């Protein structure tokens, strides 16, 4: 059973990739729950490709700031406190689905309400948590250190998502040793098979992805100064038409999985708001990346990617910097080799977590029966 945090597209595409891996190894996804807020729409491609009925439930999320560029912390706290009764209902819904699904394992894609449900009700099945955020809890990972309070809150939130978990699979650009004490295993990113098979070439346009629609004006401002540079930007603005053609060299597209990958495979460089998944997709395709963090988690993503020479960080959509970086960029062959191990490593880690859970459960049951006889 999958429980997915529906913010952005990263966790959704991870769920699609894992579903394909599991099916190829003889497993089945029997139920899918997705947490969402009123600020986001779940992309149609996810509902079409997941292959199971999708149940949506209200879930805490950050609210955009007034300029719709970054997230407003105080607004988010007030908004989520107001919706607490709905979140209590979501806890009950998740619990009921776990009980009725008959699933042998719950896989949580960074959904905090799933973590709280498991902490409160202790389901009688193992729970595996998957997300790159669990790397932030690894003792070998260095946080940026630029926003100490926000980074501490991020770690606290991440720990809440994995309360009661049997194992945490931390998706990472590079390998780290396992942290046995915290049950953290570091594995390659969960990229869909289409990312590996799509035909790549270097076209004549820059591609971008913006999560918050407020960055729209930033892109327009740069475009007005550089009208001859071709730009294709994707966003998930609610109720936006499928395509907005500003002029001959600037087009905005609503998010679509096949269209997104096709444009990414053909671009000469990629600008994004530092979401982990799309950075890894670009890295696998050999595309130079510029990351514009919108909140502290994306600052961590961008810092990590810069350390690994996977891209550059910027405060805004200044494509001049990206074009300069693209001239000196070299494809990362080591990452591609690491990513090609994802299927084996992730499925093996889930199966091992299930076996370990069953062994401990049966051992406890045996000790209990023996003590009663004595």
Look over the chain and give the mean of its residue pLDDT values, rounded to a whole number: 88
**pLDDT at 2 (0 to 100):** 97
d(CA 163, CA 158): 9
The alpha carbon of 220 is separated from its chain's Cα centroid by a whole number of angstroms, namely 27
Full-prediction pTM beyond 0.85? yes
- Residue (of 347, 277, 352, 350) closest to 21 by Cα position: 347
**C-alpha to C-alpha distances, 52 to 16, 22, 46, 361, nearest whole angstrom:** 11, 14, 10, 29
pLDDT in tens, 317-332: 889 999 999 998 989 9
∠ at Cα 187 (181, 191), nearest 5°? 150
**C-alpha to C-alpha distances, 144 to 77, 287, 305, 306, nearest whole angstrom:** 24, 24, 11, 11
- CB hemisphere CA count around 11 (13 angstroms): 23
pLDDT in tens, 48-97: 899 888 999 998 876 555 555 555 555 666 656 766 788 899 999 999 99
d(CA 350, CA 348): 6
């Amino acid at each position: 059973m999958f429980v997915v945090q529906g913010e952005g597209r990263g966790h959704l595409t991870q769920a699609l990739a894992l579903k394909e891996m599991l099916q190829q190894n003889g497993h089945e996804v029997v139920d899918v729950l997705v947490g969402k807020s009123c600020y986001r729409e779940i992309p149609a491609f996810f509902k079409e490709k997941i292959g199971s009925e999708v149940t949506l439930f209200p879930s805490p999320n950050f609210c955009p700031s007034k300029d719709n560029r970054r997230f407003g912390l105080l607004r988010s706290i007030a908004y989520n406190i107001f919706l607490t009764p709905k979140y209590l209902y979501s806890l009950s819904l998740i619990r009921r689905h776990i009980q009725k699904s008959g699933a042998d394992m719950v896989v949580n894609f960074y959904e905090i309400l799933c973590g709280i449900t498991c902490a409160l009700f202790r389901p009688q099945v193992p729970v595996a948590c998957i997300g790159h955020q669990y790397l932030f809890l690894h003792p070998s990972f260095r946080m940026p250190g630029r926003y100490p309070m926000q980074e501490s809150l991020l770690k606290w939130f991440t720990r809440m998502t994995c309360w009661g978990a049997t194992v945490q699979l931390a998706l990472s650009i590079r390998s780290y040793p396992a942290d046995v004490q915290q049950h953290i295993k570091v594995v390659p990113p969960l990229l869909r098979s289409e990312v590996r098979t799509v035909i790549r070439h270097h076209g004549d346009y820059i591609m971008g992805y913006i999560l918050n629609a407020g960055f729209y004006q930033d892109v327009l401002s740069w475009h007005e100064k550089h009208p001859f540079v071709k730009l294709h930007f994707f966003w998930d603005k609610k109720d936006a038409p499928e395509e907005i053609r500003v002029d001959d060299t600037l087009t905005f597209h609503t998010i679509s999985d096949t269209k997104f990958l096709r444009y990414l495979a053909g671009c000469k460089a990629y600008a994004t708001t530092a979401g982990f998944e799309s950075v890894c997709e670009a890295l696998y395709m050999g595309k130079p990346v510029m990351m514009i963090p919108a909140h502290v988690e994306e600052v961590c993503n961008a810092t990590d990617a810069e350390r690994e020479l996977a891209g550059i960080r910027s405060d805004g959509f200044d494509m001049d910097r990206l074009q300069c970086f693209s001239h000196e960029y070299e494809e990362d062959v080591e990452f591609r080799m690491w990513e090609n191990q994802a299927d084996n490593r992730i499925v093996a880690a889930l199966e091992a977590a299930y076996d370990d859970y069953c062994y401990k459960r049966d051992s406890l049951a045996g000790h209990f029966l023996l003590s009663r006889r004595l």
